[in-house]
Each structure stands twice: as structure tokens, then as C-alpha cells.
Amino acid sequence: METNKKVIFSGIQPSGALHLGNYLGALRNWVALQDEYNCVYCVVDEHAITVRQDPAALRRQTLELFAQLVACGIDPEKSILFIQSHVPAHAELAWVLNCYTMFGELSRMTQFKDKSAKHADNVNAGLFTYPSLMAADIMLYQADLVPVGEDQKQHVELTRNIVQRFNGIYGDVFTMPDAYIPKVGARVMSLNQPDSKMSKSIPEGCVYLMDSPDEIMRKFKRAITDSDTERCVRYDRANKPGVATLIDIYAAVTGKSYEQIEEEFAGKGYGAFKPAVGEAVVELLRPLREEATRLLADKAYLEGLYRAGAEKAASIAQRTLRKVHKKVGFLPR
């Protein structure tokens, strides 16, 4: 990694297919950050098993996600891209950090409360302590910045507390990370429930990166608009949330302003607007889908990429882990 650049770490769970919201809201930013920062990107499969997974599905989803990240523009030559379970230092550091993370801090994590309610039959210890693993992910690479949405800021704050606590005892071991809120990150809402974020839990309103052009067009043609009599393309999130969602997507895909979009479709109505948004999304996702399909057809090449990524990640992670082990008093290996 270049010494004059700050380090960014971000991870994504292989919990299902990537969708348009993931791409416009986060992944497009990940790609843009590669030239300005030393980027470390990770498929966090160890985080995924806090919820019961089908093993074959998890393996398939992990490989598909890795391929899709490359197809979206994460360049393994520019960034370190790897699979979390392939670098044992993540789990090793997480155990040490468990011993420097307070029970009360973990109890206050809102995601633990949310997931405990959703998975009441499986409130396991990993679900409770996974913020320590998340802290290990960040701290292993001495990350300066962590791109997060509002729902993850609490985890970065916890990581900062752990860094401060550990450094306070042992000296300057870890870099203090900051949450990085991307300058541009579209918040993409569901096509059929425009008051909810686009999510695989609402499949009919969710456009996946690997959807066929016909499937994408079908979803946009069936997208919710509104029932007012004027049926004009006008941005009004409060009163026309369905139309606002389509305008948001069209703006994010084309780079046009709301005013330009309203002018473009003045007098044309929803019958012209919905297919236009669909076609713009089809053309945005076409090269990504084709490249991901090509990559997934060459398993040996993909394996070479994720092995090389894990080796690069492990060389940095082991350096941090050796320092930590020495500080806490473990005999050298």
C-alpha cells in the first residue's frame, strides 16, 4: 500500500444478491475511492453466520458477491479485495478485543437488539460480540476511514472506544478510525413500497444486478407511481413518493438534475417515464452483469484473485496481530 495515502476499510456480507440500491448507494463510491485511498475491501462471511446459513448457499453467494464486486469496478490491482475467513487474523484479533470490550457497550448496540428480535430462536454469543469482530476488521489494517451508513455509525464509535482503551493501556498500537460518510450516495427506495429502502426482503420492488433486461423492465413498468389526476413527472417526496423514487434513480443513473428530468418528461406522463428509467438502469447494469457472468464461468481465475487478495491482506493483518500479541504478553510463535 502507498504510504502517503490514508487507508479505507469496508466489508459487505454475502447474504444475498447485490441490488441497485447497494450499487448506487455504496459500491459506486467504493470504486471511486480507489484512486484517492489505500482501499481494503472484504466479503465478511464470518459475520454472515451469526444468522443460520445454508452452507452450500453461503459458498455460492460468497463467490458470486466476490465476482460482482470485481465486475462493479473493484480492481484487485488497486485495492486489496479478499474473503474474511481466508485471513485467520480477523477471528484471532476479535478474541483479544472481546477482552477489551465492555458488556454494557455491546448491550447498547441497536443492531443486536434488532437482530435478536428477528431471530429470537437463535440469539447466539456471536450475534452479541460481532461488533468486536467488526472492530478487528477495521483495526487490523490500521484504517483511517470506514465508509458507513447511518445504521453502522454506532459500530465505528464502539471501535473508537476500543482503540482508545487499548492504546491507553499499551501505547500507540492502533490508528483511530473515523466514519466516512460518502459525498454522493443515492438512497434508493423500493419500487413497490417507496417508503422503504430497496431490499431483498421486498423482492418485487428490488432490482438485482444480475436481473435480465426483461426482468428489470417488468419491475419498472409495474413500479408504484401515484393516483393523482395530473400524472406529471414532478419531484414531491411527501405527496408523490413513488414518482420521487423513480426520479431519484433516474438522476443517480444519468447524472441529470430533478429540474432537467421534469423538463425532459413534461407533458409525457408515467407511460413514457417508467420505461425510460428502466432502460437507463438496464444499460447501467448490462456491462456489470455480463462481466460478473464471465468471471463466474472461470472459477480458476476467481480463485486466483481471492487467494492473492487474502495473501496481501494477511501480510498486513499479521503485522498488526504480532504487535498486539506482544503487547498483551503472549509468547512469540
pLDDT in tens, 141-197: 999 999 987 667 888 999 999 999 999 999 999 999 999 976 655 679 999 999 999
Output the pLDDT for position 202.
86
Output the pLDDT for position 181.
79
Output the pLDDT for position 239.
87
- Of 78, 153, 199, the C-alpha closest to 69 is 78
The residue annotated as part of the active site, out of 6, 200, 221, 312, is 200
Active site residue 197: yes
Amino acid residing at 276 = A
Interatomic CA distance for residues 24 and 196, integer angstroms: 16
Output the pLDDT for position 267.
86
In the chain the domains, ranked by start, together with CATH numbers, are 7-186+299-328 (3.40.50.620), 203-293 (1.10.240.10)
Active site residue 327: no
- Of 234, 235, 226, 220, the C-alpha closest to 279 is 220
The residue annotated as part of the active site, out of 5, 6, 78, 115, is 115
Interatomic CA distance for residues 123 and 104, integer angstroms: 17
Output the pLDDT for position 185.
57
Active site residue 113: no
The residue annotated as part of the active site, out of 5, 78, 183, 197, is 197
pLDDT under 70 in the chain at which residues?
Answer: 150-151, 182-186, 228-230
Phi first, then psi: give them for residue 39, nearest 5 degrees. Answer: -100, 135
Interatomic CA distance for residues 231 and 229, integer angstroms: 6
Output the pLDDT for position 132.
95
